[in-house]
Amino acid sequence: MEKTKIAVIGLGGIAQLVHMPLLSKLSNVEITAVADINKNRLKTVGEKFSVRNQYTDYLQMLSEQEFDAAVIATPTNTHSEIAIECLKSKRHILIEKPIARNLEEAKEINAVARKNKKQVMIGMNLRFRPDAMLMKSLVNSGELGDIFYIRCGWLRKQSSEQKWFLNKNQSGGGVIIDLGILILDVALWIMNDHRMKSVSVQKFSHNTKDVEDSAVGMVRFENDQVISFEVSWGLHSEWDKFHLAAFGTEGTAHLNPLRAYKRLETNRIDYTISHPSNPTNLFKKSYENELKHFVGMIREHNPVTSSCDDAVSLMTLLEAMYKSAESKKEVSL
């Protein structure tokens, strides 16, 4: 069968560690071209993965090369412009999270995608972890009853050391848009995205100036479900990983590692896997599953998981979160 042709725009850490290695191993994919404004990085990465078509100007690449889709892995402030140009040139796109700096940019990307009838997928890789997918299946099966409360969080160092990452005009925000967006996305996905009612957030900037480095908050739903969360680059903790617990009327499930129990009168049923995967394998597998899903969306027209509509809904939540943090009040959605 003919291979799906994909271009990668932005060759920083995530592209070098994840996108380029994994895409190059897929038998039904050809990396047609790469683009990066850093000439040395462009040459080094291009040669390493045997990609001849190398561009410092992605617009030139769009006009000269034939390919089906693009992976956008550039700084957040460039996402909107690059995504819109790719969509106008009739390419599907995968955008590394977050979709953009704010809700307005996310809505614009969504509108252009619909106009040009092209698919947009956002790189929310936590959804594609095998343990998260198992938890989602368990919740959907009804084994845990109705999920009424999810408690989640992520305490770890910031995802990038580059200067733009701590500049709000370029990044869109701090730890909330870095880690919060991922952990809340998977929580909403597991809860099946019931209608949100309000949000209340407190943020802190103890080690940063322009953006927040810690935040805690609560999301309320119209049917009385609740998500509580904490995210931080700076809190001292004994762990450096995300955690999530989903509490249902019949049982409970935990992520990282996956553990699940169902209450049965005086006993309980244990759904816990006896030999869980190690964190490194889960991390790698999440991106592998994500990219295979993206390719399947292009080749087989499969429904999109982590769609542009999902991203707009999530950015609506984030806008309300920042509004709540600034006003120090609960904000209705």
pLDDT for 241: 80
Query: Where residue 276 falls among pLDDT bands split at 50, 70, 90?
Result: low
The answer to whether the CB of 227 falls within 8 A of the CB of 191 is: yes
Q: How far apart are CA 305 and CA 189, in angstroms?
A: 10
Q: Confirm if 206 and 234 have CB atoms less than 8 A apart.
A: yes
Contact 289, 131 (CB under 8 A): no
Task: For residue 241, give both structure tokens.
Answer: 């990983």
Contact (Cβ atoms closer than 8 angstroms) between residue 153 and residue 254? no
The two structure tokens encoding residue 161: 């050391």
Q: Is residue 107 a contact partner of residue 286, using CB atoms and an 8 Å limit?
A: no
Q: What average pLDDT does range 140-167 have in this prediction?
A: 93
Look at residue 236 and tell me whether its pLDDT is greater than 80.
no
**pLDDT per position as a tens digit, 70-87:** 999 999 999 999 999 999
Q: How far, in Å, CA of 145 to CA of 116, rounded? A: 41
Distances (CA, A) of 13 to 43, 57, 124, 183, 328: 15, 19, 17, 21, 36
Which residue shows structure tokens 């959804």?
127
* Mean pLDDT on 20-49: 98
Q: Give the CA distances from residue 226 to residues 21, 39, 196, 310, 330, in Å, rounded to whole numbers and listed in that order.
A: 39, 48, 9, 19, 14
- Tell me what percent of the residues of the chain surpass a pLDDT of 90: 87
Per the listing, tokens 């979160």 go with: 321
Domains and CATH numbers, the chain: 4-125+287-307 (3.40.50.720), 127-277+313-332 (3.30.360.10)
Give the confidence band of 265 by pLDDT, cuts at 50, 70, 90: confident
Average pLDDT over residues 115-137: 96
Query: Is the confidence at residue 161, as pLDDT, over 90?
Result: no
In angstroms, the Cα distances linking 230 to 215, 294, 316 are 6, 30, 19
Q: Which residue has the higher pLDDT, 277 or 25?
A: 25
Q: Is the pLDDT of residue 253 over 80?
A: yes
- pLDDT at position 238 is 67
**pLDDT exceeds cutoff 90 at 158:** no
Q: Which of 35, 83, 89, 33 is nearest to 57 (CA)?
A: 35
| C-beta separation of 253 from 176 below 8 A | no
Single pTM value for the model: 0.94
Of 253, 159, 255, residue with least CA distance to 211: 159
3-state SS of the chain? CCCEEEEEECCCHHHHHHHHHHHHHCCCEEEEEEECCCHHHHHHHHHHCCCCEEECCHHHHHHHCCCCEEEECCCHHHHHHHHHHHHHCCCEEEEECCCCCCHHHHHHHHHHHHHHCCCEEEECHHHHCHHHHHHHHHHHHCCCCCEEEEEEEEECCCCCCCHHHHCHHHHCCCHHHHHHHHHHHHHHHHCCCCCEEEEEEEEECCCCCCCCCEEEEEEEECCCCEEEEEEECCCCCCCCCEEEEEEECCEEEEECCCEEEEEECCEEEECCCCCCCCHHHHHHHHHHHHHHHHHHHHHHCCCCCCEHHHHHHHHHHHHHHHHHHHHCCCEEC
Q: Which of 1-5, 227-231, 316-320 is the least confident region?
A: 1-5
Percent of the chain whose predicted confidence (pLDDT) is above 70 = 98
